[in-house]
Amino acid sequence: MLPRLKISSNVIDRLNAVTSECSGYLFGLMHDDTLFVVGLGFDLNEECNSLSLDDQERCISQSKLHFPTEVDVCGFVTFTDSYFTPEFLEGLEQNVHITDNPLLLLYQLGNLTGIKAQLYVHENLKDATYEVVSETDIWTQFVHVRLQTRLPLTCELQADAISETLVMLQKKVAAGVVCFHFPKSSVYLKSSSSENGLNGISGDQTVGELCDIHGSSESNHSLTGGRVKVKGKKKCSPKEADLLSVEMLLKASRDSLVESPNKCAPIIHLINRSYRCLKTVIKVDTISMVHRNSKVVHLYTALVDSLWRNLKLIENSFLEQISNSVDSMFVVSAPETYHFLPRECGHFVTVVYQKQKHDSELDTERRLLHKLLALPLDRPYFRRGCAHLFTEDIPVNAPLINVHEGLTPTVNGGEVSLVQGTYSYHHYRQDHIDDSGWGCAYRSLQTIVSWFKWQGYSERAIPTHHEIQQCLVTIGDKPSSFVGSCQWIGSTEVSFCLESMLGVTSRILSVSSGEELGSLGGELAYHFKIEGTPIMIGGGVLAHTILGVDFNKNSGDLKFLILDPHYTGSEDLQIIQGKGWCGWKGVSFWNKAAYYNLCLPQRPRGP
C-alpha cells in the first residue's frame, strides 16, 4: 500500500523562495501509512547526482543530525528529472529507511503550483497526489520530546580514541542499561516492551495521553514556543503544550537474577607512555518529534537514537578541534548544544558549537546551515542569541517575553505587520529600580536592546539606567551631572545609545501632533515587514514602544500595537494584556497637542 502524502507548507514556501536551481533531500516522518514531509536539506555538493552511494549516505547522515530525531530522509527534490537515473534512484532507495517508496519532488523556479510528486515503486516512478498542511497542523499532531542528561567522557586526546569511546558509550546506552524518567510525572520508561517497559502508566497509553498527564500537573503554562510564562489558567499554543521533558538514569548495578556473573579473571594491559587525557562531562540535549498517537513505549527507541545523534554532533566538534590544532598542547573547548526554531523551517534545528568560539568565528558554519536549509542570508538564524528559549530554561522572575502574542487585531480588512522575532518586556520598577515618572524611555530602550540580543545581533547585556546615562555623557550628549539623575531621555538619545552600544543605526521620524501619526500607517507597516524591529516613540512626557500596526490602506483605518513601559506590577501576562498595558490602540490614544519623535532601529544584514 502506497503512503498518503502530506507536505508542510513551510517546505512549499521555502521552495518558492529559492532563486537558483538547487537539489536536495526531503525529510519527514511516517505514521499510520502517512508520510509527513516537514523539512528539506539542499545538497551542498554542486553535482549531487554524481556522488557515489557511500558519499550520498555520508551526506544524508550528516544532514539529518540537525533535524529532530524520528525525522529522517524520505526522498529527493530537484528542478530536473535528469537526476532520476537508475543508479541514483537505487542509491536513494537504500538510504531511505522510513518508507519503502521514496518521494521525488520535481519543481520549477517561480512555478510551484506545478510541483510534481512521484513515488519510487518497484524500480518505477509513479505519479502521486499530496496535501499541503499548515505548520499549525503539524505541531498539533506531533509532540516534541526533550532529553537532557550528562555523561562522563574520559579517554586519550586523540581522534580515534574519542570516536571509539563515544561508540562504546552509545553501545552501553543501546544495551538497555538506561531508564528514562518524565520528571513532571511518576512515569519511568525502562524498555520498548509494552508488557514491562513502563512504570506509572500502562503500556497501551499514547504520547498524547502522557502530554495530558503532564499538562494537568502543571500550574504554569506558556505561549508560543516557550516565549511567555503565564500563571493560572492554561492558555498555551500547540508548540509549548506538547513539549515533554525527559531525564535519563544509568543503571549502576547488576541484576543478579538476570545477568550471569563474569567467570573470567580481569586482564590489565599496562602501556607505559606519556599521553594527553581528555576528561570532561558531556551535556546531552536532544529533541525528538513523535506523533501524539504513538505508544509511549516506542519513545524508548527514539530517545536512544536521539542520544546517538547528539553524541555524533559532539564527536564531530571534538574531531574538528583536533584536526585544526597546530599546537599539541591546545586547549579543548567544550561542545555546547543549541536548538533553533527558524520560523521559515517550522521544525527544530540542532547545532553544536565550541564553547570558546565567538559567534564571529562561526560565520562559515552558519552560512552552510543557511544554504542547507534554504534560508535567506540577510538575517541570522543560528547565532547563539537566536536559540529557542524553552519555558524550563527561563529564570524565575525574568522579564516576560513576546507579551503581545495572543492579542487579536481589530481593524476591519486591515493588514497586520508585527515585530519579527523575540523581545523582553521592560517596564517601571524592574531590577529593584523605582523609575516611575521618568524611566519610560530607558525601559523602551532596554526592550529594543533585548530584541537585538534575542536575535543574535549582540551579546551585550541589557544596559542599566546608569550605563545608559554614562553612554550619553561619554559621547558628549549630556553633562557629567546627568549620571545618577532622574532626567528623561527621548528618541534621539535612544538612537545615540543604540549606535554607541550596539553599532545600530536608526531612522528618526517626526510628527507635529498625535493626530498626524494616523498618516504613518504605510510607512510603519513597511518598517515591520523589512526591518522587524520594535519602534520607540516619545511625545510630551511619555514614551512607548510600538510592536506593530494593523492598517487598512483603502480606508486608512489604523491601529498601533503598543507596549507600555509605565506598567508597575508583577510579571503577570493576564494583567498586562487584560488591563491594556500591551494592546491595540487607535490614533486617539496619542495626544493631539504633543509633538512626537519615532526611533526606527535598522536591522543589520547578514547571517
Residue type, 424: S
> Residues 151, 74: one domain?
no
Among 113, 133, 153, the domain boundary falls at 133
Whether 239 is covered by a domain: the verdict is yes
pLDDT of residue 397: 81
Residues 219 and 306 in one domain: yes
> Of 385, 405, 438, which residue sits at a domain end?
385
Which one has a higher pLDDT value, 83 or 20? 20
Q: How many domains does the chain have?
A: 3
Residue-level pLDDT at 214: 77
The answer to whether residue 85 scores a pLDDT higher than 70 is yes
547 lies in which domain range?
415-601
User: Which residues, at least 6 apart from 314, have a Cβ–Cβ distance to it below 8 Å?
Assistant: 166, 282, 284, 335, 337, 352
CB 73 within 8 A of CB 26: yes
**Which CATH number belongs to the domain containing residue 60 in this structure?**
3.40.140.10
Question: CB atoms < 10 A from the CB of 298, how many?
Answer: 18
Phi-psi region of 522 (alpha: psi -120 to 50; beta: other; left: phi over 0): alpha
Q: How many C-beta atoms surround the C-beta of residue 550 within 10 A? A: 24
With a pLDDT cut of 70, the percent of the chain lying above it is 90
Q: Please indicate, yes or no, if residue 259 is contained in any of the structural domains.
A: no
d(Cα 550, Cα 527) in Å, to the nearest integer?
Answer: 13
d(CA 421, CA 343): 9
- pLDDT reading at 545 higher than 50: yes
Asked if residues 552 and 413 have their Cβ atoms less than 8 Å apart, the reply is: yes
Give the strand pairing for 335-340 and 542-551.
unpaired
Residue 79 lies in a domain: yes
H, E, C per residue of 355-398: CCCCHHHHHHHHHHHHHHCCCCCCCCCCCHHHCCCCHHHCCCCC
When mean pLDDT is compared across 139-153, 326-340, 399-413, the lowest value belongs to 326-340
Q: Which of 47-51, 129-133, 310-314, 561-565 has the lowest mean pLDDT?
A: 47-51
- Residue 546, in any domain of the structure: yes
Mean pLDDT of the chain: 88
Inside any domain, residue 205: yes
Is residue 260 situated within a structural domain? Answer: no
What integer is the mean pLDDT of 118-128? Answer: 93
pLDDT digits (tens, 9 = 90+) for 205-254: 999 999 888 776 553 334 344 344 443 333 344 445 468 999 999 877 76
- Band of the pLDDT at 115, cuts 50, 70, 90? confident
Do residue 144 and residue 241 come from a single domain? yes
pLDDT at 225: 40
Residue 352 lies in a domain: yes
Same domain, 373 and 471: no
Catalytic residue among 43, 72, 359, 564: 564
What pLDDT is stored for residue 53 in this prediction? Answer: 54
DSSP β-bridge partners for residue 151 = 282
Helices 299-324 and 159-174 sit at what angle, rounded to 10 degrees?
Answer: 170
465 and 449 in a single domain? The answer is yes
Catalytic site includes residue 211: no
Residue-wise pLDDT tens digits, 48-71? 444 555 555 666 778 889 999 999
Statement to judge: residues 104 and 62 lie in one domain? yes
C-alpha cell at 122: 518497484
How far apart (Å, rounded) are the C-alpha atoms in residues 36 and 137?
11
Q: Centre a 10 Å sphere on the Cβ of residue 454 and count the other Cβ atoms it contains.
A: 20
What is the helix (H) or strand (E) element at residue 179, kind and residue range? Answer: strand 178-182
- Give the active site residue among 440, 471, 497, 582: 440
**Are 442 and 583 found together in one domain?**
yes
> Can you tell me whether residue 540 is helix, strand or coil?
coil
pLDDT at position 243: 86
Supply the pLDDT for residue 254: 62
260-285, pLDDT tens digit by residue?
556 678 888 888 888 888 999 999 99
Residue 566 is part of a domain; what is its CATH number?
A: 3.90.70.130
From the DSSP assignment, how many helices (H) and strands (E) are in the chain?
14, 25
Same domain? For 290 and 158 the reply is: yes
Q: What mean pLDDT is predicted for residues 124-140?
A: 93
Per-residue pLDDT, 325: 82
Residues 315 and 352 in one domain: yes
Question: Cell 494537568 sits at which residue?
Answer: 216
Q: Bigger pLDDT: 531 or 269?
A: 531
Per-residue pLDDT reduced to its tens digit, 362-405: 999 999 999 899 898 888 999 999 999 888 888 878 899 999 99
Q: Say if residue 580 is exposed, middle or buried (CB neighbours under 10 Å; 0-12, 13-18, 19+).
A: middle
DSSP result, 316-334: HHHHHHHHH--STTPPPPP
> What helix, strand, coil percent values describe the chain, rounded to 5?
30, 25, 40
Q: Is 566 annotated in the active site? A: yes
- This prediction has a pTM of 0.87
Could you confirm whether 564 is annotated as catalytic? yes
How far is Cα 560 from Cα 180, in angstroms, rounded to an integer? 48
CB-CB neighbours of 109 under 10 Å: 13
Q: Does 14 fall in a domain? A: yes
pLDDT at 47 over 60: no
How far is Cα of residue 281 from the mean position of the Cα atoms in its chain?
Answer: 25
| pLDDT at residue 48, rounded to an integer | 46
**Max avg pLDDT among 185-189, 270-274, 517-521:** 517-521
Residue with cell 507548507: 9
Mean pLDDT of 554-576: 95
Q: Do 451 and 362 fall within a single domain?
A: no
**Residues 339 and 438 reside in one and the same domain:** no
State the angle between helix axes of 440-454 and 491-502 in degrees (0 to 180), rounded to the nearest 10.
30
* Cα distance from N-terminal residue to C-terminal residue, the chain: 44
- Give me the pLDDT at residue 79, please: 84
Least confident among 163-177, 237-251, 591-605? 237-251
Q: Is 605 exposed, middle or buried (0-12, 13-18, 19+ CB in 10 A)?
A: exposed
What does the pLDDT average to over 544-560? 96
pLDDT at 62: 81
Inform me whether the pLDDT recorded for 105 exceeds 80: yes
Same domain flag for 144 and 128: no
Please give the angle made by the CA atoms of 28, 320 and 355, to the nearest 5 degrees.
Answer: 85
Percent over 90 (pLDDT), the chain = 65
What integer pLDDT is reported at residue 20 of this predicted model?
82
Query: Of the residues 100, 212, 566, 572, which is catalytic?
Result: 566
Go through the chain and tell me how many residues it has: 607
Domain boundary among the residues 80, 100, 133 is at: 133
